[in-house]
Amino acid sequence: MITAIVVLLILLLLFGGGGFVWNILWYILVAALVIWLIGFFVRSAEGGGRWYRW
């Protein structure tokens, strides 16, 4: 789902200009980074040892 949104935004960027789409991409990047960091700290606080889910 997220991959489809990112691909759609990249296509809009390539074919439709830039300004607004760049802002959306930055917001998605920041949100994904924050979610990843929260998940990283929550998993390490549980004492599971591994921070990935493989």
What's the pLDDT tens digit per position in 2-50?
677 777 777 776 776 667 777 777 788 888 888 888 887 776 656 555 5
pLDDT computed for residue 40 by the predictor: 75
- Does some domain include residue 54? no
For residue 52, tell me if it sits in a domain: no
Per the structure, the complete domain to which residue 8 belongs is given by 2-46
Smallest CA-to-CA distance from 53 within 31, 43, 45 is with: 43
pLDDT of residue 4: 77
Q: What is the pLDDT of residue 48?
A: 58
Domains: count for the chain? 1
**Above 70 in pLDDT, residue 52?**
no
Instruction: Assess if residue 53 is contained within a domain.
Output: no
